Amino acid sequence: MRSFVLLIAVVLLGLAPGAFAASLDNQKVRGFIGQMASDHGFDAVALARTFDRVQRSDRIIELIAKPAEKVKPWHQYRAIFITDKRIREGAAFWRANEGAIKRAVEAYGVAPEVIVAIIGVETFYGQHAGSYRVIDALATLAFHYPGKDAKARGDFFRSQLEQFLLMTREEHLDPLTPLGSYAGAMGMPQFMPDSYRRLAVDFDGDGARDIWKDPDDAIGSVANYLHHHGWRPAAAVISPARVVGPKPVAFLKTTIKPDFRLRDFTAAGVSPLRGGVGPDEESALFELEGVTGPEYWIGYNNFYVISRYNPRVKYAMAVAQLSEEIRKLRGGAGS
Going by C-alpha positions, the residue among 46, 59, 18, 36 that lies closest to residue 144 is: 59
Give yes or no for a contact between 177 and 197, defined as CB atoms under 8 angstroms apart.
no
Alpha-carbon gap, residue 106 to 89, rounded angstroms: 23
HEC per residue, 181-230: CCCCCECCCCECHHHHHHHCCCCCCCCCCCCCCCHHHHHHHHHHHHHHCC
Of 62, 106, 122, 170, the active-site residue reads 122
Residues 6+ apart with CB under 8 A from 85: none
Treating both helix axes as pointing N-terminal to C-terminal, what angle do 44-51 and 26-40 enclose, rounded to 10 degrees?
140
On whether the CB atoms of residues 257 and 243 are closer than 8 A, the answer is no
For the question of residue 122 being annotated catalytic, the response is yes
Query: Where does residue 331 fall: left (phi above 0), alpha (psi -120 to 50 degrees), or beta otherwise?
Result: left
Q: Hey, which residues does 313 pair with through a beta bridge?
A: none
d(CA 326, CA 328): 5
SS3 322: helix
Residues identified as active-site:
122
